[in-house]
Amino acid sequence: MTKLEEKTLRSEEIFSGKIISLHLQDVELPNGKQGKREIIKHPGAVAVLAVTDDKKIVMVEQFRKALERTIVEIPAGKLEKGEEPALCARRELEEETGYECESLELLTSFYTSPGFADEIVHVYLATGLTKKENAAALDEDEFVNLEELTLDEAEQYVKEQKIYDAKTIFAIQYLQLQEALKNK
């Protein structure tokens, strides 16, 4: 077994923003040589696979500046400082879609880009949905269109690359797996 750990020799914060910060590190590699690492720190995020009583998946279409295009995603948002992920999931679901949920279950958590970022996403399943009368508002720089898709429609969106991100493709595959297990 190769030794794998890398020791930080020097770390410099190059940028600290609203969402991310960038750190450059000099490290000692397992073989004793030196290397450089570019690290993005992120507060972490939640995503919510919300399924209505009539089996529609609640999605939001959103313009993603990093991609210079809109994509359709399950509702998601970053954790506020000290915020409990399950509370964040309920908050983001309400803000982005107007839905409250009775039941919230953690499906998985994953790092999105371990090669350069510490962002983790906690993916929840939300059921028992009801529309809230006076739902909390979106952030002032957030704009979304609500879409409610059947699983077939969602699979079609993946083929058409309207759905194109890791958390949403994971969520759709999760539902495909549940269907397959149910029909066994």
Structure-block tokens of residue 110: 């994953």
Catalytic residue among 84, 140, 155, 179: 140
Length of the chain, in residues? 184
Q: Which residues, listed in sequence order, are joined to residue 127 by a DSSP beta bridge?
A: 103
Print the binding letters for residues 120-159 with a second copy: x by CB under 8 A, - otherwise.
Answer: -x------------------xx-xxx------------x-
Residues 11-30 that bind a second copy (CB under 8 A): 14-15, 17-20, 22, 24-25, 27, 29-30
Q: By C-beta, is 83 or 118 nearer to a second copy?
A: 118
> Interface with a second copy includes 32 (CB under 8 A)?
no
Q: Is 94 a known active-site residue? A: no
For residues 86 to 105, the per-residue mask of contacts with a second copy, x marking binding by CB under 8 A and - elsewhere, is --------------------
Cα–Cα distance, 131 to 6 (Å, whole number)? 49
Of 126, 106, 119, the residue nearest 59 (C-alpha): 126
Return d(Cα 17, Cα 134) in angstroms, integer: 32
Q: How far apart are CA 96 and CA 69, in angstroms?
A: 19
Site string for a second copy, 58-87 (x = CB under 8 A): ---xxxxxxx--xx-x--x-x---------
Name the segment binding a second copy (CB under 8 A); options: 10-18, 97-105, 126-134, 149-157. Answer: 10-18
Cα separation of 168 and 67, whole Å? 16
Catalytic residues: 140
